[in-house]
Amino acid sequence: MIVNLHATWAWIVIVGNGVAGLWCLGAHWWPPLRVKVLWGFVVFMELTIFVQAGLGVYMMAVQGISAPAMHTFYGFIAIVSVAILYGYRTQVRAWQYLLYGFGGLFLMGLGIRALTLA
């Protein structure tokens, strides 16, 4: 059951962060896309990464399922990447849409890479 949820949730993480990244990139060049709900969506999609990692840790710790080392590495890097994006948000205020745009696409790429290794 958790294995299926982890696999399904991976697609939510991948597609959602890709959409958030594209939305942010679009908002950088087209101001009408700069709405408050954008940041709520970005935060929600970044939180999905923590849920995904939690499901993976549960499967490894409780269910005894092993994962390839690089699969867990990409999950860890995704969490660190969210922290880095959050840390830089005030320093690059003028470029925040680009930061979160490319950041969202980077997170999507990490998810795809982790999925291909699973």
- Please give the model's pTM, rounded to 2 decimal places: 0.94
Single out the residue of 3, 4, 8, 43 nearest to residue 23, CA to CA: 43
Q: Round to the nearest angstrom and report the end-to-end CA distance of the chain.
A: 16
Is the pLDDT score of 1 beyond 90? no
DSSP type of residue 63:
S
What is the pLDDT at residue 93? 84
| pLDDT per residue as tens digits for the range 60-118 | 999 999 988 899 999 999 999 999 999 998 898 889 999 999 999 999 999 999 999 98
In this prediction, what percent of the chain has a pLDDT beyond 70? 100
The domain limits of the chain are 2-117
